[in-house]
Chain A
Amino acid sequence: MKTDELMTMLSQTPPVRPRLSLHAAVILLLLCAACVIVAVLGVRPDLAAAMRTYGFWGKTIFLGAGLALAGYGLCLAARPVRFKDWPMLMIGMLWGALLKLTAMELEYASLDGIIGSWFSVAGWTCFGFVSLYGLIAMGVLARLMRDYAPADPRHAAMYVGFTAALAGATGYSIHCRMDNAAYVVFAYGVPILMLVLIARIALPKFLRW
């Protein structure tokens, strides 16, 4: 087919639109995570008391801001134009701040107690839910990303992993009673990093367009 004929044919065909925008998908995934958690595990019983503590708000803001940044970075990475990757830098700074809080926490809390909390039932439940939900969300976002045009599929894959895992983590935090930084760093951080790594390795070929 000649290029002129192709142009005529394309101009007479309505442009393609994705079934669901990435913004909407991230919000829907977060809502789904919250609904699943409330339906299966329930809201944390000490919610009213927890809302009066800095730890609760720190964790909520950390996970919510991380998800918002990852979602925004996902939308930027979905375009063929390269961009200055400040969302990833901000996420890194958030983790840095949390690690600093963890170091401060280690000064007055016992290490055995902290490690015990990581490997408690709550820790494993957190790891299991964030990993499982993150994997499902990763599949959904990867499928949607195929309708877009990422300039760098590897970069986009990392954002898919980050966003999916943080959606699961933010949803799970409705149920989670542990608010201390050391717990959040490990119990949430490990499945998040694991999913980012899986996405970075497994998704780039799938995201080629």
Chain B
Amino acid sequence: MTGVQKPDDIGQWLAAAQGGDAAAYRRALAAIAPPVRRYAARVLARAGAAQQAEDVVQEVLIAVHVKLHTYRAGENAMPWIYGIARYKAADMLRRMRVRKVSLDDPSFGMEIGDDAGMEAAQAQLDLDRLLALLPPPQGEMVRALKVEGQSVETLAATYGMSAANVKVTVHRALRKLAAMTMRGKKERDGTT
């Protein structure tokens, strides 16, 4: 699977899969896995359990298979998929009873000597660290809207909020991020 799939594509494939189209179903599952993997890694990383993300992906795929009849053809597929992913990630955390939060996560691993990779991974870690400091679901919403490029409408449907509320929440989160970044910069300038 190459390129980023539009949510509409996934919805159409899921609808075709409900009618028994195995090829469309395979495409849908392949398109669902990457965003769910990112989501699960992000949620589990807060509890220091990002290595379990692949287990969550597999559980989500099985749930998609078993609960496919709850998807309504024609609706945006992403809120439905994230609804399942949220449930399964929470279920995993509940089972693990993980309390420790760590960002020392193998999913951020890189080749030694790969400077570009190191920088990208460091930026990813910084972003994750900052977003993890925001109260839920602000961090998830900022990432979904500003990093993954999801629409406000999709987020509104995912979180059961109005579009205006999503915009206000993200705006507040960005202000908090800006304040945190400025504070960090001042602290660094003060120590050097």
Identify the A interface with B (CB < 8 A). Answer: 1, 3, 6-8, 10-18, 78-84, 148-149, 151, 208-209
Contacts and interface: CB of A to CB of B under 8 A. Distances in A.
Interface string B158-187: 111000000000000000000000000000
6 contacts: A3-B33, A11-B23, A15-B68, A15-B69, A80-B70, A149-B63
Given A7-B26, A82-B159, A16 B87 contact: no
A15 B62 CA distance: 10
Contacts of B49: none
Given A10-B29, A149-B84, A17 B70 contact: no
Contact of B61 (A7, A16, A18, A149): A7
Give the top 3 A-B pairs by smallest Cβ distance, nearest first: A80-B83, A82-B160, A11-B26
B58 A81 contact: no
Contact of B26 (A8, A79, A84): A8
Q: Is the interface of B mostly helix, strand, loop or mixed?
A: helix
B63 A7 contact: no
User: Interface size class for chain B?
Assistant: 20 to 34
A209 B63 contact: yes
A7 B68 CA distance: 14
Contacts of B87: 80, 149, 151, 209
Contacts of A151: 83, 86-87
A10 B65 contact: yes
Contacts of B86: 80, 151
Given A81-B79, A82-B160, A3 B54 contact: yes
Interface string B64-104: 11111110000000011001101100010000000000000
B159 A13 contact: no
Interface string B47-64: 000000010011001111
Nearest to A149: B67
A12 B29 CA distance: 12
Contact of A81 (B64, B69, B157): B157
Contact of A209 (B23, B67, B68): B67
A19 to B, nearest CB: 11
B22 to A, nearest CB: 5
A47 B63 CA distance: 49
B80 A81 contact: yes
Contacts of B69: 15-18
A3 B57 contact: yes
A14 B19 CA distance: 9
